[in-house]
Amino acid sequence: MSKSISIAVVGSGYVGLVAAACFAEMGHQVICVDNDEKKVEMLRAGGVPIHEDYLPELLARHANQTLKFTTDLRAATQASQVIFIAVGTPQSKTGSADLSYVDAVASEIARSIDDYKVIVEKSTVPVYTNEWIRRVIERNGVPRDLFDIASNPEFLREGTAVVDFLHGDRIVVGADSERSSGLLASIYEPLSSGSYYVSEQAVPGFRTLDNPTPVLRTTTKAAELIKHASNAFLAMKISFINVVGNICEAVGADVEQVAQGIGTDSRIGPKFLKAGIGYGGSCFPKDVAAFRYVGEQLGVDFGLLAEVEKINAEQKKRFFQKVRSALWTFRAKRIAVLGLAFKGGTDDLRDSPALEIIDLLLKEGSIVTAYDPAAMERAKAVLPPSDTMRYAADSYAAAQDADALLVLTDWQEFAELDLDRMHYTLRYPIVIDGRNLFDPVTMLQRGFTYLSIGRMGVHPTRE
């Protein structure tokens, strides 16, 4: 049985709440802190503020027992050996990461420190942030031997966050003292030793893997860089395949075949080689920009990242042009949109390409009816229902009498649609698929005009 450690996690969002629930699941005593009182109340009352598989089960098992919720950062700091900072680090106007939330939390922690603490950057932050946090804490009069700063970047993906957290490819422990490195690594001991086990009965459907997760011990600076470099690399892979897809379209090749041919090379790997409407979400856009900014500040030309961003922006415009080429004009056209979240499996709308495309459709005068399995409530707050922006209860209701159907998020349930039913539901059987969820030959056989990404469009022969 590994040691139970007292932990505070500051910020109960996609990362903080999942990390806190998983730490409790691993046997630790956890206090989850957020300054959003409504969220804390909801969590205390047994609510689940975000859509993540297995999170409701974990919260039901641990909430208000080994997992507590509070707005009181001071009390949480004093009760904990290790404090994880997991607040947002959004993009500022210059492209750099806005670290004001991290700064505010660090100052408050500093004013609460009474004995040795390890303060861990869980948020994605630029290299050198640990130095700034150290300065903030020292400035508040805390002696240097009462704290250490460490970095433990998070690699979970929204939609599969719990599984990713408990069965990641690696755990990065970035610390500059033996004491903090040891304490941080010991938190993850149940995962790194392979002793963590969740029974099928406790969390139905959860897959427990046998293989322990390797721990990579680095300096704090290296850990900060690992996270930015990972996200920038993945975004680069996406932009790369999107341009390859555009070349495929120009010559009549199929990007799915090309991606398979590239991805089976073990030096490259198959993941993140999916052509589509470009990356979005709360991480890639801001992290690519922030990493580019880090380069700029250090006098290192990382023009490659500027190109990655440019390609990504172009990809959405190209898709919109594709819709135009199918519909000719937009005014008063009824367009069904499947998917609002930035990717399947999540309700997160931050920087979602789907919202950008809907915005363009609305500006052109179209009437949009959208459906998303998880993100509709959040979407209604950003795009309120109106005569031109409507929400439907399912995919078929969205498609009713529509002039075309756009697929903008890769939800599995869209890939499993009943195509015959969809065909007679639509006014015109036109599908423009930004996520390549369907096979063009099948779509042609079912009588659809079908346009996708990096593949030739198909049209039923006209008499």
Long-range contacts made by residues 242-249, C-beta under 8 angstroms, separation at least 24?
242/275, 242/276, 242/278, 242/311, 242/312, 242/315, 242/453, 242/454, 243/311, 244/275, 244/454, 245/275, 245/453, 245/454, 245/455, 246/318, 246/454, 248/275, 248/454, 248/455, 249/453, 249/454, 249/455, 249/456
Shortest distance (Å) from residue 222 CB to ligand NAD: 17
First to last CA, the chain: 73
At 80 the three-state DSSP class reads coil
Report the length, in residues, of the chain. 463
Build a one-symbol-per-residue string for 274-303: x at contacts with ligand NAD by CB under 6 A, - elsewhere. --------xx--------------------
Residue of 21, 32, 83, 86 that binds ligand NAD (CB under 6 A): 86
Build a one-symbol-per-residue string for 92-131: x at contacts with ligand NAD by CB under 6 A, - elsewhere. ---------x--xx-----------------xx-------
Shortest distance (Å) from residue 87 CB to ligand NAD: 4
- Name the residue nearer to ligand NAD (CB basis): 10 or 422: 10
Residue of 7, 87, 226, 338 that binds ligand NAD (CB under 6 A): 87
Residue of 33, 137, 375, 430 that binds ligand NAD (CB under 6 A): 33
Q: Any known ligand binding at 330?
A: no
CB 29 within 8 A of CB 66: yes
d(CA 423, CA 401): 10
Q: Is 248 a catalytic residue?
A: no
Residue of 5, 7, 9, 10 that binds ligand NAD (CB under 6 A): 10
Stretch that binds ligand NAD, among 22-30, 85-93, 185-193, 242-250 (CB under 6 A): 85-93
Query: Which stretch of DSSP H or E encloses residue 55?
Result: helix 55-62
Shortest distance (Å) from residue 20 CB to ligand NAD: 11
Q: Any known ligand binding at 124?
A: yes
CA 263, 284, 36, 223 dihedral sign is positive
CB 384 within 8 A of CB 359: no
- Name the residue nearer to ligand NAD (CB basis): 42 or 360: 42
Cβ atoms < 10 Å from Cβ of 193: 12
The one-letter amino acid code at 112 reads S
d(CA 290, CA 124): 10
- Name the residue nearer to ligand NAD (CB basis): 42 or 362: 42
Q: Any known ligand binding at 227?
A: yes
DSSP conformation letters of 210-247: SSPPPEEEE-HHHHHHHHHHHHHHHHHHHHHHHHHHHH
Q: Which of 22, 32, 248, 283 is catalytic?
A: 283
Indicate whether 72 belongs to the interface with ligand NAD (CB under 6 A): no
d(CA 312, CA 93): 19
Build a one-symbol-per-residue string for 245-264: x at contacts with ligand NAD by CB under 6 A, - elsewhere. --------------------
Cβ atoms < 10 Å from Cβ of 119: 25
Q: Any known ligand binding at 179?
A: no
Residue recorded with tokens 């932990």: 7
Shortest distance (Å) from residue 415 CB to ligand NAD: 22
Q: Any known ligand binding at 272?
A: yes
Pick from 86, 87, 147: nearest CA to 113: 147
Indicate whether 34 belongs to the interface with ligand NAD (CB under 6 A): yes
- Name the residue nearer to ligand NAD (CB basis): 54 or 448: 54
Indicate whether 16 belongs to the interface with ligand NAD (CB under 6 A): yes
Residue recorded with tokens 């975000």: 50
Build a one-symbol-per-residue string for 157-186: x at contacts with ligand NAD by CB under 6 A, - elsewhere. -x----------------------------
Q: Which residues bind ligand NAD (CB under 6 A)?
A: 10-16, 33-36, 39, 86-89, 101, 104-105, 123-124, 154, 156, 158, 282-283
Residues making up the annotated binding site are 34, 39, 89, 124, 155-158, 227, 272-276, 280, 286, 343, 350
Residues taking part in catalysis: 283
